[in-house]
Amino acid sequence: MRHPELPSLIGICAAALLGFAAALMSWTRPGEAPFPATRDEATVTAYLLDNGFHTDLAVPRAALAEGGGVLAQALARTPPGDWVLVGWGDARFYVDQSPILNRLADGARAFFAPGNASVVMLDPHPRDPARLGAPERRRTLRLSRQGFAALRARLEASLAAPDGAPVLAAARAGDDARFFASVETFWIGHLCNHWTAGMLNAGGVAVRPFRSIVSAELLAAVDRASVDRASPGGSSLDRAGQGA
């Protein structure tokens, strides 16, 4: 026996699901500090770097080291470099640099298995990040002191320190990058770009968490934040901060 109300019920459920999906896609988490800092504010300049699928932050080493704590201890265990590339990822897949075709099974494990261990990368770099990568894949972050302090705190909170000290999980031969154990877990619902989005959000950038699965969304978030706070004449702030 057919129920005449069934098609209507299915339609209502489908519309509700579509509405929920649309809400997730557009949901925006406001930044935790003013961004970008105005030109008359004390600022810390950092960079967002996108390689096409993964994002890192490039941060002045001296600013990261200020305040001591677990993060400063971790920095002390890295080679010299005025800038530090900061990233996050799965404890195995992120560190391994063997050909990607040899790591497909491990990549599937990292994406779909729950509760994967993760690491924070601190990679000292001697070059000015304003010259790293293509300009269209780089954004300048002019952070207020409040915003940088929150970003630094968010980074430090990600580091595991069971005995009050950071845990060095990996160091690659011939590579200055050091990987420290993180308290967070890696999976499809919390990937590297989600983590970087959280860092940007702490620094003051409004982000769309659901869309932050892709690196391009993080660049767009910085662009939107820069435009949103620009003066009517556009003279007090750089529009999108695409490098220097």
Domain positions in the chain are: 35-229
Q: Which long-range contacts (CB under 8 A, 24 or more apart) does 52-55 make?
A: 52/137, 52/215, 53/214, 53/215, 54/87, 54/89, 54/192, 54/193, 54/215, 55/87, 55/192, 55/193, 55/196, 55/215, 55/218
pLDDT of res. 20 = 39
> Cα angle at 187 between 185 and 191, to 5 degrees?
90
Top-ranked range on mean pLDDT: pick from 5-14, 53-62, 233-242: 53-62
Q: What is the pLDDT of residues 182-209, one digit of tens each?
A: 999 999 999 999 999 999 999 999 999 9
% residues pLDDT > 90 (the chain):
68
Residue 234: what pLDDT?
37
Q: Which residue has the higher pLDDT, 228 or 179?
A: 179
Residue 42 has a pLDDT of: 73
Taking residues 142-148, what's their average pLDDT?
A: 94
